[in-house]
Structure 1
Amino acid sequence: MNLPDKSQLQYFVSGIDAFSDACGRAIAWLTLLMVLTQFAVVVLRYLFDTGWIALQESILFMHALVFLLGAAYTLRHEGHVRVDIFYEHLSRRRQALVDGLGTLFLLWPVCAYILWASWGYVTNSWQLLEGSREAGGLPGVFLLKTSILLMASLLALQGLSMFLKNLLIIFDRGEGD
């Protein structure tokens, strides 16, 4: 199999990984903002006997964004749950084969399904410019729903990086079986 120049693939993979890292670091700041917002909600409620629905909903929005948009970063750093019995005892090349096949037959089909299944849900929300059902709630529910499509796209992109890294390992002639 003829692959593009190894250095070109590595550069491309590094670019995807850097993008995932930048997204992950940016999204990580939402966790701090979420904690501070939750603290403000508690202080407002129990010290001042007041509160705003929009402020409470913003915590829900931030929580969803942390998980949805942080998934690719987690995948990049192998922070996902891996249950295996044999994988850790395999050679590096065979681990790359397992990971590559997992990307090809599990990750990408799931991403494609999420994109396909949520497309109508998200576009309908955009057509309505859907907002909160609560009086005084946040108006941008359609933007939050869009993060479902972004999550699947970011995961698929990070999967491409993983797949290419695994191809490089599999076809590296200097690596033993």
Structure 2
Amino acid sequence: MLLRTLDSINEIIGKLISLFAIVFAGVIIYEVFMRYALHQPTRWSFDVTKQLYGFYFIMLGAYALKHQAHVRVDLLIQRFSPAVQRWVEVVGYLVFFFPFVWIFLTRSYAFAERSFAQGETTYGAVQIPVYPLKMAMVVAAALLLIQGIVTVIRLIFHKEAEHHGS
């Protein structure tokens, strides 16, 4: 029950964040129209699209992990039995994934805290606050950590049906 609840959090957030692709595309289309049809490029669109893309990209990491959409290289372990493959994956999470996510979480927290305290903005023509994106990095790291824990629990207890997206 808890694993499904945690999965559903990342599922809902992933689907909500995916709506930003529409906003992101709208801003780009608007800028292209302004620049090439009206010969009046905007001063803000580049910074806004960078921020939206960064937010979109970083916030979908846990959703991608839930749906096993991250790049994997299974050339070495594909010859092993499914049980050995699961344990190799668990070790991989313990040795590589969790240390990376912990560093990502703690460093992005310090990064966001400093950005907020300084009222950091972009350097472009229109100064857009940067700290919301840096705070999103903290949230994204926490969601990734939660999804990683769920994935490892499923690998250890071999909950195959739940592990593959249900």
Question: Offset of 1:137 from its aligned partner?
Answer: 3.2
- Residue 6 (structure 1) aligns with: none
> Aligned match of 2:146 in 157, 166, 171?
157
Q: Distance in 2 between matches of 1:13 and 1:53?
A: 45
* Contact 2:93–2:152, Cα closer than 8 Å, also in 1: yes
The higher radius of gyration belongs to 1
- Paired letter, 1:142: Y
- Paired letter, 1:34: F
Question: Offset of 1:160 from its aligned partner?
Answer: 0.8
Question: Offset of 1:19 from its aligned partner?
Answer: 1.1
Give the TM-score normalised by structure 2: 0.86
Question: Offset of 1:40 from its aligned partner?
Answer: 0.4
Q: Distance in 2 between matches of 1:137 and 1:55?
A: 11
Percent sequence identity is 22
* Contact 1:111–1:152, Cα closer than 8 Å, also in 2: yes
Provide structure 1 residue ranges, at least 5 long, that are not aligned to the other structure. 1-10, 171-177
- Paired letter, 1:136: V
Question: Offset of 1:136 from its aligned partner?
Answer: 2.0
Q: Is 2:49 the partner of 1:59?
A: yes
> Which deviations, in whole Å up to 9, do the C-alpha atoms of 1:12-53 show, x marking residues without a partner?
111111111111111211122211210100101122222333
Give the TM-score normalised by structure 1: 0.82
> Aligned match of 2:76 in 61, 65, 86?
86
- Give RMSD over aligned pairs: 1.7
Q: Is 2:126 the partner of 1:136?
A: yes
Question: Offset of 1:84 from its aligned partner?
Answer: 2.0
Matched pairs, number: 159
Question: Offset of 1:149 from its aligned partner?
Answer: 1.5
Provide structure 2 residue ranges, at least 5 long, that are not aligned to the other structure. 160-166
Q: Is 2:72 the partner of 1:72?
A: no
- Paired letter, 1:144: L
Question: Offset of 1:114 from its aligned partner?
Answer: 1.5
- Residue 3 (structure 2) aligns with: 13
Q: Distance in 2 between matches of 1:168 and 1:65?
A: 34
Question: Offset of 1:95 from its aligned partner?
Answer: 2.2
